[in-house]
């Protein structure tokens, strides 16, 4: 070899040594990478060969739909068992009277009618007793005997039901965090099953509650599954889906199943006739999830972050077999080498990564905080709008049904928008439009007598319910995609934990409407418009490879402007789907090979 050739090799070696210091690897590791980069395969590529839109993916979407259905029934059970029917204090003279006659007798007492005990009833003349009421006459709505009615938790004892509801949400906070940590420690599948079994145990035990202490403890156990039973399955499904199925397939399925759950929940209670039977049915629906253990494969991406590459390959082989795909052994070997390379390039072992690592680097910290804040605002708005079913002048069972009907259209509209304009633009438009609707309702309610106009209230409430359903679903999916796989479960747990904390304000916001009718709507408008502005500062995830490592998360979306919508950008899959370090190593390999060939 000529002298100039030796000089070129020496110069190239110096460049490689400098690159070694920058990447944080040793010399031998870089040489190993150089020698094995001819044929490597990342997770999206191997998943495509195994089938990223095959039978297994559609099965997973259906199972996610079942989880969405059971979650909705479980979520609304807390409202339904606590419905308080129209009631009046019992008097023997009222036994043979119709409900209309009883209501007319108690009408002079106004808001105190339900808790006023009468001493004598002589025609239209009544006298009030000084004793407290111990027994009531209930006008059951559609014949459903709620918990409050059966246990007589009304009037002075009405606080007992609210304590149980508070413990349910406390359980939700604990379960969201606990199962989020477990999802990253023991796997997504086991965490999903455990969360749903907590819901089963809590609902089943509640049916035997006969006092406040029992009721509060059992509702706390049931609440452990209130959020975790859904978002963990959502993460698991998301990690196995092709980008094209993350839009219409997920959104449409969730829309239909949320609708079915919201329709079944109130009318199942009417069919059951009693809150204990209704909760038993809700519990049995969650028990079925235990069978997922024999069908659902553990997340291959999660196994990679736990350095269990062989376990990930075993799951991918099972999926390939289920989808009827034949994958060469060389492809799995290339995928294995890619995992080894990425592990060596990582500055921190991913199995030791914690939730606070999301805050160590500037870009990932900004994304994480924005995700938390945006989801807090969206969740508070969602809970306020969806739970406000007793202030619209209609039976809560009817309002539940009307709200449920608008959910499927919201799912399909969301799916179409995400396919055409991307995740970011869809979230922004949904929040903006719902916020403007809420503002318009607030202005309308500021006029005299508007709060009694049922038609006006429904004309605003139904589109707002459609819009907030889009906001919540797209934000939930957006958040799951933005956080790296290695801490995704714990990260989403923290997001939902913060959202659950914010949602504690929801009952008070609804109650504020009894004092100032326009106030809740105007506050919701401010929250949603703020959330829409925060969404603009997040990067697009549509048709992008999701971040797996912390380094991927830090590099994700760097350089994007606030108006970088998916529909406006030029798709460049050759670069955007690879981590920054791998792109540079590809370039480095190409330069080395060309120089060596020239020298020879």
Euclidean distance between CA atoms 34 and 516, whole angstroms: 69
Which of the two residues, 290 and 518, has the higher pLDDT score?
290
| Of the candidate ranges 78-87, 119-128, 369-378, 478-487, the one whose mean pLDDT is the lowest | 119-128
Domain CATH code at residue 395? 1.20.1250.20
Euclidean distance between CA atoms 147 and 129, whole angstroms: 27
Q: Is the pLDDT of residue 36 over 50?
A: no
Which of the two residues, 409 and 317, has the higher pLDDT score?
317
How confident is residue 20, by pLDDT bands cut at 50, 70 and 90? very low
Model pTM greater than 0.85? no
Q: How many helices (H) and strands (E) does the chain have?
A: 26, 4
How confident is residue 423, by pLDDT bands cut at 50, 70 and 90? confident
Q: Is the pLDDT of residue 349 over 60?
A: no
DSSP string, 243-256: GGGGTHHHHHHHHH
Q: What is the pLDDT of residue 276?
A: 92
3 assigned to some structural domain: no
Q: What is the pLDDT of residue 278?
A: 92
593 assigned to some structural domain: no
pLDDT, tens digit (0-9, with 9 covering 90-100), for 452-500: 667 777 788 888 888 898 898 888 888 888 888 777 777 887 888 888 7
In the numeric block, which tokens belong to residue 365?
A: 């910290």
- CA-based nearest residue to 323, from 5, 46, 108, 586: 46
Q: How large is the average pLDDT for residues 561-578?
A: 58
Q: Give the count of domains, the chain.
A: 2
18 assigned to some structural domain: no
336 assigned to some structural domain: no
Q: What is the CA radius of gyration of the chain?
A: 29
Q: How large is the average pLDDT for residues 210-216?
A: 89
Euclidean distance between CA atoms 176 and 182, whole angstroms: 10
Q: Which domain holds residue 122?
A: 87-139
As a whole number, the mean pLDDT across the chain is 78
In the numeric block, which tokens belong to residue 187?
A: 């796997």
Q: Is the pLDDT of residue 355 over 80?
A: no
Q: What is the pLDDT of residue 455?
A: 77
Please say which residue of 118, 139, 160 terminates a domain: 139
Q: What is the pLDDT of residue 40?
A: 66
- Locus of tokens 């999916």: 477
Please say which residue of 77, 112, 139 terminates a domain: 139
Q: What is the pLDDT of residue 28?
A: 41
162 assigned to some structural domain: no
32 assigned to some structural domain: no
Integer angstrom CA distances of residue 582 from 82, 321, 409:
56, 30, 42
Q: What is the CB neighbour count within 10 angstroms for residue 84? A: 18
Q: What is the pLDDT of residue 594?
A: 40
Q: What is the pLDDT of residue 434?
A: 93
Please say which residue of 102, 124, 139 terminates a domain: 139
Q: What is the pLDDT of residue 498?
A: 86
Euclidean distance between CA atoms 42 and 62, whole angstroms: 27
Using a pLDDT cut of 70, give the percent of the chain over it. 83
pLDDT, tens digit (0-9, with 9 covering 90-100), for 172-193: 888 888 888 888 788 889 999 9
368-399: burial string, b at 16+ Cβ within 10 Å, e else: bebbbbbbbbbbbbbbbbbbbbebbebebbeb
How confident is residue 146, by pLDDT bands cut at 50, 70 and 90? confident
C-alpha atoms less than 13 angstroms from C-alpha of 38 in its C-beta half-sphere: 4
Euclidean distance between CA atoms 425 and 374, whole angstroms: 14
Contact between residue 222 and residue 199 where contact means Cβ atoms under 8 Å apart? yes
Q: Is the pLDDT of residue 445 over 50?
A: yes
594 assigned to some structural domain: no
Q: What is the pLDDT of residue 35?
A: 40
Q: How large is the average pLDDT for residues 56-62?
A: 91
Q: What is the pLDDT of residue 227?
A: 78
Q: What is the pLDDT of residue 567?
A: 67
How confident is residue 347, by pLDDT bands cut at 50, 70 and 90? low
Q: Partners of 512 in the beta sheet?
A: none
What sign has the CA pseudo-torsion 410, 411, 416, 422? positive
Most distant CA atoms of the chain, gap in Å: 122
Euclidean distance between CA atoms 96 and 90, whole angstroms: 12
Q: What is the pLDDT of residue 24?
A: 43
Q: How far apart are the first and last CA of the chain?
A: 8
Euclidean distance between CA atoms 286 and 291, whole angstroms: 10
Which of the two residues, 220 and 347, has the higher pLDDT score?
220
H/E stretch holding 137: strand 136-139
Give the three-state DSSP class for 134: coil
579 assigned to some structural domain: no
């Amino acid at each position: 070899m000529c002298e100039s050739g030796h000089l070129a090799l020496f110069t190239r070696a110096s460049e490689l040594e400098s690159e070694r210091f920058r990447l944080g690897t040793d010399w031998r590791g870089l040489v190993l990478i150089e020698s094995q980069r001819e044929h490597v395969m990342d997770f999206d590529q191997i998943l495509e060969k195994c089938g990223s839109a095959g039978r297994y993916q559609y099965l997973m979407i259906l199972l996610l739909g079942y989880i969405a259905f059971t979650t909705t029934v479980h979520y609304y059970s807390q409202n339904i068992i606590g419905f308080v029917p129209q009631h009046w204090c019992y008097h023997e003279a009222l036994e043979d009277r119709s409900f209309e006659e009883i209501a007319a007798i108690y009408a002079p007492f106004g808001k105190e009618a339900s808790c006023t005990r009468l001493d004598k009833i002589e025609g239209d003349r009544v006298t009030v007793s000084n004793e407290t009421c111990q027994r009531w006459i209930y006008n059951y709505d559609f014949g459903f005997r709620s918990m409050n009615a059966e246990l007589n938790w009304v009037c002075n004892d009405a606080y007992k039901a609210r304590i149980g509801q508070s413990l349910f949400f406390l359980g939700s906070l604990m379960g969201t965090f606990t199962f989020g940590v477990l999802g990253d420690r023991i796997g997504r599948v086991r965490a999903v099953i455990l969360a749903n079994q907590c819901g089963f145990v809590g609902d089943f035990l509640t049916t035997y509650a006969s006092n406040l202490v029992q009721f509060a403890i059992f509702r706390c156990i049931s609440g452990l599954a209130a959020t975790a039973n859904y978002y963990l399955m959502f993460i698991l499904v998301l990690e196995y889906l092709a980008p094209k199925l993350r839009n219409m397939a997920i959104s449409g399925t969730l829309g239909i199943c949320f609708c079915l759950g919201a329709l079944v929940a109130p009318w199942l209670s009417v069919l059951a006739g009693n809150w204990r039977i209704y909760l038993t049915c809700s519990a049995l629906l969650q028990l079925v999830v235990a069978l997922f253990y024999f069908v659902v494969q553990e997340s291959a991406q999660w196994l990679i972050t736990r350095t269990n590459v062989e376990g990930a390959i075993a799951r991918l082989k099972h999926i390939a077999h289920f989808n009827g795909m034949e994958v060469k052994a060389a492809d799995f070997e290339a995928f294995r080498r890619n995992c080894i390379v990425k592990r060596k390039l990582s500055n921190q072992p991913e199995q030791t990564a914690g939730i606070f690592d999301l805050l160590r680097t500037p870009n990932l910290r900004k994304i994480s905080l924005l995700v938390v804040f945006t989801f807090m605002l969206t969740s508070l708005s969602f809970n306020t709008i969806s739970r406000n079913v007793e202030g619209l002048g209609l039976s809560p069972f009817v309002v539940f049904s009307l709200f449920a009907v608008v959910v499927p259209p919201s799912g399909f509209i969301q799916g179409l928008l995400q396919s055409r304009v991307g995740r970011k633009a869809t979230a922004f438009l949904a929040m903006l439009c719902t916020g403007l609707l809420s503002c318009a309702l607030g202005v309308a309610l500021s006029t005299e007598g508007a709060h009694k106009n049922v038609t006006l209230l429904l004309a605003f409430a139904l589109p707002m319910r459609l819009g907030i359903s889009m906001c919540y679903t797209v934000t939930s999916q957006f958040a799951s995609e933005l956080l790296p796989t290695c801490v995704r479960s714990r990260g989403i747990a923290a997001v939902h934990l913060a959202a659950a904390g914010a949602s504690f304000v929801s009952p008070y916001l609804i109650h504020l409407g009894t004092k100032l009718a326009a106030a809740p709507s105007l506050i919701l408008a401010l929250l949603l418009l703020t959330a829409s502005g925060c969404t603009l500062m997040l990067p697009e995830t549509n048709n992008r490879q999701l971040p797996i490592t912390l380094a991927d998360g830090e590099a994700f979306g760097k350089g994007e402007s606030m108006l970088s919508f998916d529909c406006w950008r030029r798709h460049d899959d050759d670069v955007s789907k690879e981590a920054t370090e791998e792109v540079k190593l590809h370039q480095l390999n190409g330069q080395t090979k060309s120089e060596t060939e020239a020298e020879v």
